[in-house]
Amino acid sequence: MRIQPNIIITGTPGVGKTTHCETLAESTGLKHLSINDIVKERSLHDGYDEEYKSWIVDEDKLLDSIEDEVKQGGYIIDWHACDLFPKSWIDLVVVLRVDSTHLYDRLKARNYPEAKLQENLDSEIMEVLLQEARDSYDEEIVVELTSNTSEEMESNIERIETWIVNWRENNKEGAK
């Protein structure tokens, strides 16, 4: 039984996932679980992809590694994918979206290789991660939020904080 919710904040790289997660962790007491950091720290990968400048995640090792922690509740999971996490672990899926002009500028500033930059832009334009979330979780727990400006980010954080307060109030006895 969980007395704290688990939330996934997902979206293509550059949409503001980590900023949202860090701010929410600070304001709510939930723990920020950066999957990128966990993969590196716990060697949950099958090597490094030089073309895309990223780790090749071993999803089975990842799930095995975090299962005991996440099942207890109280985590904000920060990653660009969501479909691998079991439905029973997750109470809310937030898909952050950014218009392609903002996204291009953010990824360019990170010095993304051209192939990786283009793939992420295509993914955002085609709503790949939003569709993945809708296909993997119940409709009522998937929320799409826009994150083009700092004002939108602040509004998103307030909205998620309110959701957390309500979840806690409605699950005082714990959630399955």
Q: Is 12 left (phi over 0), alpha (psi -120 to 50) or beta?
A: beta
Residue 25 domain-assigned (yes or no): yes
Q: Is 73 a known ligand-binding residue?
A: no
Q: What is the pLDDT along the chain (176 residues), one digit of tens a residue?
A: 789 999 999 999 899 999 999 999 999 999 999 999 999 999 999 999 888 778 899 999 999 999 999 999 999 999 999 999 999 999 999 999 999 999 999 999 999 888 888 998 999 889 999 999 999 999 999 999 999 999 999 999 999 999 999 999 999 888 76
CA–CA gap between residue 142 and residue 156 (Å, rounded):
14
Report H helices in 14-99. 17-28, 35-41, 59-71
Would you state the pLDDT for residue 53? 76
Q: Which amino acid is it at 130?
A: L
Least Cα distance to 94 among 175, 30, 40, 3 occurs for 30
* Pair 20, 146: CB distance under 8 Å: no
Q: Which domain holds residue 110?
A: 7-164
Q: Is residue 171 part of a domain?
A: no
Is 42 assigned to a binding site? no
Which stretches does DSSP call E strand in 50-99?
A: 54-57, 75-78, 92-97
Domain assignment of residue 115, yes or no: yes
Looking at residue 13, which CATH number applies to its domain? 3.40.50.300
> Is 147 within the bounds of a domain?
yes
Asked whether residue 116 is domain-assigned, the answer is: yes
Cα(148)–Cα(153) distance, integer angstroms: 8
Q: Is the residue at 64 inside a domain?
A: yes
11 is annotated as contributing to ligand binding: no
For 25, list phi and psi in degrees, rounded to 5.
-60, -45
Length of the chain, in residues: 176
pTM of the model: 0.92
User: Is 18 flagged in the annotation as binding?
Assistant: yes
Q: Does the annotation list 110 as a binding residue?
A: yes
Number of domains in the chain: 1
Instruction: Return the pLDDT at 45.
Output: 95
Whether 1 maps to a domain, the answer reads no
Considering the domain boundaries, does residue 46 fall inside one?
Answer: yes
Enter the tokens of residue 13: 């790289």
Instruction: Determine if residue 168 is labeled as part of a ligand binding site.
Output: no
